[in-house]
């Protein structure tokens, strides 16, 4: 059977297009379970106080982003090394000096985001604790994944050639009872998790820091791959993106604060396609657990889930099924041929960076310490590559595999520049966070940590190829 790239770009059958714009109803019990988990998480952060709603929290997020963007415009030599020397009262002046919108504009920006979001348009589909912006992204991704499942489940006589190739005999039955309720949560892991509730409905939790991380990984993969091919070395901006991810996630513990840097206009469509594929793969992996009948992979009682003896095989199978869903769900995006391969490979490259960075920050001898017993990111990469090269998919995706591995290696190059610097200054980075007085603006703490790690990384960037 020979299949062309143009054929795969056709995507799932048009008769299932209705899934893309509107999700089928989520089971009420799953939504209640999702709200219970999100409420427990909120109380763990905010204490036993009344829920203020995302209108208030979204305004705070917008304000923080505006301040962080303004601080990022200030040359490093003009910022005191001691963050406590910057009075919080000067933040408004810093924002104004950078030419940004005044902080008073944050409520209007937040309200527009809420009103135009999927949650604003279809509130009955979402937990009341969901973030409005996340709901829009998740609705589009889940709609495309469920459209692909519906196409794969159709009788073979009604399937197009690319759909039959991707379906390939796997089980593609998603019952209404197991249609997951999806929401974001601060899980502390750069991934999503499918969990079964007491009444056998499904909740999928997406780490809320995944969104900025996906953007950073897409930038590093696309730009870094091009830089290595053309110049043999990575640019400062590309390495700094990885440095900032490490500092935000491993040192500060909140990936939502990862800076988002501008992408060259000519490459924005390519970076966007890869970012989308990263997010689709993460969610498709969890749908795959549901499709595989793997409803106990991540039980709600988190302690001990990693001791299941067949977890390794189940995770790899979920990767295989999730990859096929990703290929179908991203096929209609023509901006970068093979983005469906780039996304998963870059996501796994990011996991490897953070595993090793966490071990470095803790002074551990191996990144496997305290890790689940499932496959490592490197094993998952090898499995995905073999799943393509060892099947008929290789006729369409052979070039994408090679390029995707090149992008994966670009992330690894940046990692090898950042982690020695992290080891060198890890004690100093820990002290920076502890030095800030209680209630001190987190934007200033973050800037101090990001800049200190980057100062240690920069000489290594300059020495590339020497």
43-69 mean pLDDT: 55
Highest mean pLDDT among 363-367, 396-400, 410-414, 433-437: 410-414
pTM: 0.83
pLDDT tens digits, one per residue of 285-305: 999 988 988 766 554 444 444
Instruction: Pick the range with the lowest mean pLDDT from 161-175, 221-235, 311-325.
Output: 161-175
What total number of domains does the chain contain? 1
Q: What is the pLDDT of residue 12?
A: 38
Residue that has been written with the tokens 């982690």 in this structure: 419
> Residue 223 has what pLDDT?
95
pLDDT band for position 444 (cuts 50, 70, 90): confident
pLDDT cut 90: percent of the chain above it: 32
The pLDDT score that the predictor gives to residue 52 is 47
| Containing structural domain, residue 312 | 5-462
Average pLDDT over residues 274-292: 93
Q: How far apart are CA 273 and CA 151, in angstroms?
A: 22
Average pLDDT over residues 339-350: 95
Of the listed ranges 16-25, 80-89, 407-416, the one predicted with least confidence:
16-25
| 160 — pLDDT class (breaks 50, 70, 90) | confident
The pLDDT assigned to 251 comes to 85
Judged against a pLDDT cut of 60, whether residue 323 lies above it is answered with yes
| Lowest pLDDT segment from 131-135, 246-250, 331-335, 407-411 | 331-335
């Amino acid at each position: 059977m020979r299949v062309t790239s143009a054929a795969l770009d056709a995507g799932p059958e048009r008769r299932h297009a209705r899934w893309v714009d509107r999700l089928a109803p989520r089971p009420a019990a799953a939504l209640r379970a999702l709200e219970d988990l999100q409420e427990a998480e909120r109380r763990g952060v905010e204490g036993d106080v009344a829920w203020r709603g995302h209108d208030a929290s979204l305004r705070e997020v917008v304000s923080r982003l505006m301040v962080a963007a303004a601080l990022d415009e200030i040359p490093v030599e003009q910022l005191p090394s001691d963050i406590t020397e910057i009075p919080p009262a000067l933040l408004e002046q810093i924002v104004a000096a950078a030419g940004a919108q005044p902080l008073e504009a944050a409520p209007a920006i937040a309200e527009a985001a809420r009103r135009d979001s999927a949650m604003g348009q279809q509130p009955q589909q979402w937990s009341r604790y969901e973030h409005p912006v996340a709901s829009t992204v998740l609705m589009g991704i889940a709609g495309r994944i469920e459209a692909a499942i519906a196409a794969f489940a159709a009788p073979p006589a009604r399937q197009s050639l690319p759909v039959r190739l991707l379906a390939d005999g796997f089980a593609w039955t998603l019952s209404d009872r197991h249609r997951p309720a999806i929401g974001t949560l601060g899980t502390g892991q750069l991934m999503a998790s499918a969990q079964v509730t007491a009444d056998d409905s499904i909740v999928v939790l997406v780490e809320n820091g995944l969104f900025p991380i996906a953007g950073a990984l897409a930038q590093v993969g696309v730009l870094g791959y091009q830089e290595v091919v053309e110049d043999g070395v990575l640019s400062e901006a590309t390495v700094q993106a990885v440095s900032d991810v490490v500092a935000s996630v491993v040192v500060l513990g909140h990936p939502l604060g990862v800076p988002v840097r501008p992408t060259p206009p000519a490459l924005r469509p390519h970076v966007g396609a890869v970012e989308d594929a990263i997010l689709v793969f993460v969610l498709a992996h969890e749908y795959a657990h549901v499709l595989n009948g793997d409803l106990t992979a991540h039980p709600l009682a988190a302690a001990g889930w990693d001791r299941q003896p067949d977890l390794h095989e189940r995770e790899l199978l979920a990767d295989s099924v999730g990859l096929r869903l990703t290929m179908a769900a991203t096929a209609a995006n023509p901006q970068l041929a093979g983005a469906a391969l780039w996304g998963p490979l870059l996501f796994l490259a990011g996991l490897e960076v953070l595993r090793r960075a966490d071990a470095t920050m803790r002074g551990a001898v191996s990144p496997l310490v305290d890790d689940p017993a499932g496959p490592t990111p490197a094993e998952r990469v090898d499995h995905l590559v073999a799943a393509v090269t060892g099947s008929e998919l290789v006729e369409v995706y052979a070039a994408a595999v090679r390029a995707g591995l090149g992008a994966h290696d670009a992330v690894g190059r940046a990692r090898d520049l950042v982690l020695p610097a992290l080891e060198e200054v890890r004690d100093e980075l820990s002290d920076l966070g502890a030095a800030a007085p209680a209630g001190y603006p987190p934007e200033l703490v973050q800037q101090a940590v990001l800049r200190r790690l980057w100062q240690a990384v920069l000489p290594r960037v300059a020495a590339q190829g020497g």
